[in-house]
Structure 1
Amino acid sequence: MSTAATVKPGRSSRAMQPETRAFAYGMIGVPLLLVVALVGCYGHQSGGAFALLAARNAMLLTGAPGAGIGGFCANILMSLAAMCVSLVTGVLLCVGTVAQTRWIRFIALGIVNLLRNTPWLIALYAMLYLLPFYVPVFGVVIPFSPFVKAVAGLSLPVTANVAEAMRGGIEAIPSGQWESARALGYRKNQILRYVIVPQAIPFIMPNMMTVFAMLFIGSSLAVVTGTSDVLSVANTITASDGSHYATAVQMYVLLLFFLFAFPIATLARRLERQMREKS
């Protein structure tokens, strides 16, 4: 017993090395690669590019002063809001895909397939033109800002991906769990709630993290709605300071997205590997 106990930690630590090594290489190598590319692009004018990035860093991160939350923080908030909406709607859609009633299951699967195959840019444009600028409700005017339209547009395809991730986690549970619960007198909704879903969560989490990383990267498309996101701020900087350092600004935006999304994707791969080892 003591030998087995000493062997398992060694195996676990060795198995963790690929993700740890990839994370270290990525977090160090990619910024260095971008710095080398920037120096190679601008040569002796690289100092001016770095000076511009240092001067405009706060604006790229938080938006223009006095304009509310914008820049990279707007992309983060937009992604979190869209993910929260997608979790709620995705759960409802997932319940429909596993429903016993055939027509409910057929409609839910049709919606999932439609949303999953809808280009994100089309969904954003649809929300931009379909949603009004404001809606009066009992004398109270509720505005639909570009931020709200962007969240709605991003939530559409992500809802389908969330529903599929949940359905995949539920289907990963052996059918014997269903049969055993039925033998104990549980109804289907009780089986899902108390037996299947708690076991499916470890299978769902890696896919959810991958979906969120994908959503965060896709939030860059929200610039078409007029949201004051990081790309909109980058375009403003390019217009005001000249296009000479536009490449440097876009490289910095690329670095920001990478530094946020890459750790999430790496952790998702690690969790997925752990699930495979346990199974």
Structure 2
Amino acid sequence: MTAVRRMSGWLGVVLVGLLLVSLLVGEAQAQAAEGSASLLATLWKWAPLIGQGFLLNILISVLAMTLGTIAGGALGLGQMSPVWPLRHAAQIVTQFFRNAPWLVLLFYCILLLPYELRLGGLVIPMPAWIKATVGLALPVMGNVSEIVRGGVQALPQTQWDSAESLAFSRSQTLWMVILPQAVKPMLPPWMNLYAVLIMATPLVSVVGVEEAMTLTRFALSAENRSDLLLPMYLALLIAFFAYCYPIARWTARLERRFAVKL
């Protein structure tokens, strides 16, 4: 685990080094070409716009994770229901969305969800980024369902038996005994899933959402300079790495902390 952390840290250093090298090479090319603006100045000019797009990536990931966690938690508990039709239905839904391609689900949500919702006289717009958020929440729901099922079933049967001996009902046992203990081992895989989700948010650029990847392509098209290609995409890569790396470190710390025999 220490070697992996060191490797991840060195990866960040390598990415920053590549960005600096590409900036130096680009600056040399800009000076050799007459009328070319400074590469660093051009990056700085587009940084606020691309930064706004990156904030949209974060917003989409947070909302998708929230929706997926709520729906996936209910679905995961449904997989352990004593009522077999509910249990089998929850298992089918879980496996379908867990194994469906994320991009296909995005396209379905973009094409099938309406552009606006009418509730009486109230009209609620449904922009592309909201529909994309729903599209990402669906596979998150399937994965969270499996995390919840695995976390609950990982607890020993003696926990259920002890609660039953104290005259707890099944629902009381679940909410007062089982889930409080299962949350801890569920946190690391849940955080890993969020890291995967934030890295998957550039997929929404394919369906027309103006997030960081889309705005980076727009900036490259507006500048029409081949020497900007590597620095701009490297800067975007570093932004995602800087956001995800602390999550990975925190996840590893939680895994060590909760790696105890329950």
TM-score by length of 2: 0.90
Per-residue deviation at 1:46? 7.4
1:172-207 CA deviation, whole Å, 9 max, x = no partner? 211111111111111111111000111111101111
SS at match of 1:182: helix
Tell me which of 10, 13, 28 is aligned to 1:44. Answer: 28
Give the number of equivalent residue pairs: 255
Q: Which residue of 2 aligns with 1:31?
A: 16
Q: Given the superposition, is the C-alpha separation of residues 51 and 261 from structure 1 closer, same or farther in structure 2, using an over 3 Å criterion?
A: same
1:107-151 CA deviation, whole Å, 9 max, x = no partner? 101111100111110011000100111122202211110111111
The reply on whether 1:217 has 2:193 as its aligned counterpart is no
The 1-side partners of 2:155 and 2:230 are apart by: 49
Per-residue deviation at 1:42? 4.3
Tell me which of 54, 58, 64 is aligned to 2:48. Answer: 58
SS at match of 1:142: strand
Where does 1:43-192 land on structure 2 (aligned, <5 Å)?
44-45=28-29, 48-62=38-52, 71-192=53-174
Where does 1:195-210 land on structure 2 (aligned, <5 Å)?
195-210=177-192
The reply on whether 1:247 has 2:230 as its aligned counterpart is yes
SS at match of 1:160: helix
The 2-side partners of 1:30 and 1:249 are apart by: 12
The 1-side partners of 2:177 and 2:66 are apart by: 24
Q: Is the 8 A contact 2:148 2:186 kept in 1?
A: yes
The 1-side partners of 2:261 and 2:42 are apart by: 50
The 2-side partners of 1:19 and 1:181 are apart by: 41
Q: Is the 8 A contact 1:149 1:225 kept in 2?
A: no
- AA partner of residue 75 (structure 1): N
1:212-259 CA deviation, whole Å, 9 max, x = no partner? 111101111011232220011111101111141123211111111111
- AA partner of residue 213 (structure 2): L
- AA partner of residue 265 (structure 1): A
The reply on whether 1:228 has 2:210 as its aligned counterpart is yes
Q: Is the 8 A contact 1:116 1:160 kept in 2?
A: yes
Gaps of 5+ in 2: 32-37
Per-residue deviation at 1:278? 5.7
Q: Which residue of 1 aligns with 2:258?
A: 275
Q: Given the superposition, is the C-alpha separation of residues 18 and 185 from structure 1 closer, same or farther in structure 2, using an over 3 Å criterion?
A: farther
The reply on whether 1:256 has 2:239 as its aligned counterpart is yes
- AA partner of residue 232 (structure 2): V
Q: Given the superposition, is the C-alpha separation of residues 46 and 33 from structure 1 closer, same or farther in structure 2, using an over 3 Å criterion?
A: farther
The 1-side partners of 2:63 and 2:225 are apart by: 33
Instruction: Detail structure 1 runs of 4+ shifted over 6 Å in the superposition.
Output: none
Fraction of identical pairs, as percent:
31
TM-score by length of 1: 0.84
Per-residue deviation at 1:20? 5.8
SS at match of 1:276: coil
RMSD: 2.1
Per-residue deviation at 1:76? 0.5
Q: Which residue of 1 aligns with 2:34?
A: none
